[in-house]
Amino acid sequence: MMDESNHWYGHSRILSRYCGLPEESPKRIQGFLQHGWNYLHGFPPDDHWCSPGYPRFIWSDVLRRRGWSMGRRGHYLIGAPWIYLLHLEPELGTVPERKGTIWYPFHGWEKHSVIGDHARLADEIRNVETERVTVCLYWLEFANPDIRRAYESRGFRVICHGERGSRWEGKGRDFLRKQLVQLRRHRRVASNRLGSALFYGASVGCEVAVYGDPMQFEDERPEYGGTARRMRLWPELHGTHVDRELAAEVARRELGFEYQATPEELLRMFGWKRARAV
């Protein structure tokens, strides 16, 4: 069994390297790997996303508990692939002095676009940030010249970490490595919604901010609870200035640093085997 999302952002390659296996041709993970932070149970609401009987490899215990409360079983706590990248690349992207803010607008994906005014958000960013700003767009928004122009016209540098790939494509293989380099160069990380990038940044010492129109998915699923639920669960992480130590503590919990598995444990859980020495 194999799910393509296990490879989207180079996750399987990172974990292969951590386990001492070739990352050029990552093995199939026998199960479903959580590919991004969310505040439901780590996966989309639809049950058909994960085939019954296959394990779900999740980042944090709170997701396991939520999954259990909704009748889902077979959870294995391993933490986020991000923490394995930090283990492998403790110095990647480090600079003597961090400068500026990297800003991640909430993005859509191939099946659902986002409703929101990027020009208005860009004006708000310009009014709040006091140093240079890098806006990092998801590849779908980056491909839209109108969205790029909304930020470039305000004087912001606009980048993209790349497309998400597959087991066979090289598109997403360096996504997280590129993200790590950028986060370690910036003093602040900000977004209009809590998300993976905010927690990744907080885990490597960035100041955190969450402000601006949170935007919405078209036909956003009610199971997530919307902005009201995010504000209720994490009020201390919203605002133009957030306590950095508190943000780092929450990030370590949400990314599951305490659940980092050993290479031997991952090999067993994923159904991987190392080649025998001849």
In terms of domains, do 183 and 216 share one?
yes
- Phi first, then psi, for residue 264 (nearest 5°) are -65, -40
- Domain around 180: 101-255
Nearest CA-CA partner of 260 in 35, 59, 66, 61? 59
- Domain match, 33 and 109 both: no
Other beta carbons within 10 Å of 125: 22
Would you list the DSSP string of 178-197? Answer: HHHHHHHH-SEEEESS--HH
Q: Which residues of the chain have pLDDT under 70?
A: 1-5, 44-53, 108-113, 165-172, 217-226, 275-278
Residue 133 and residue 234 in one domain = yes
For position 190, what pLDDT does the model report? 98
Please give the pLDDT value at position 244.
96
Which CATH number fits the domain that encloses residue 127? 3.40.50
**Residue 127: which residues within 8 A CB-CB, separation 6 or more?**
none
Please name the amino acid found at residue 187: R
- Read out DSSP for 218-229? TT--GGG-HHHH
**How far is residue 123's CA from residue 24's CA, in Å, rounded to a whole number?**
42
What does the pLDDT read at residue 1? 40
3 state DSSP class of 216: strand
Shared domain check, 243 and 110: yes
Asked if 58 and 161 sit in the same domain, the reply is no
Q: What is the pLDDT of residue 142?
A: 94
Residue 145 and residue 170 share a domain:
yes
- In this structure, the answer to whether residues 44 and 106 fall within a common structural domain is no
Residue with structure tokens 């998300």? 195
pLDDT tens, position by position, 101-141: 999 999 766 656 677 899 999 999 999 999 999 999 998 89
pLDDT of residue 278: 40
Residue 119 to residue 161: CA distance in whole angstroms: 21
* 114 and 58 together in one domain: no
* Residue 77 shares a structural domain with residue 135: no
Domain presence at residue 71: yes
Q: Is 275 within a domain? A: no
Is-contact 186 204, C-beta < 8 A? no
Q: Are both 42 and 126 inside the same structural domain?
A: no
Same domain for 43 and 129, yes or no, is no
Please give the pLDDT value at position 192: 95
Cite the DSSP H helix spans in the chain.
Answer: 11-18, 61-69, 81-88, 118-128, 139-142, 145-152, 175-185, 196-203, 226-233, 244-255, 263-270
Is 191 domain-assigned? yes
Q: How many domains does the chain have?
A: 2
Check: CB of residue 155 under 8 Å from CB of residue 123: no
Q: Name residues whose C-beta falls within 8 Å of residue 268's C-beta, 6 or more positions apart in sequence.
A: none
Q: How far apart are CA 223 and CA 53, in angstroms?
A: 23
109 lies in the same domain as 245: yes
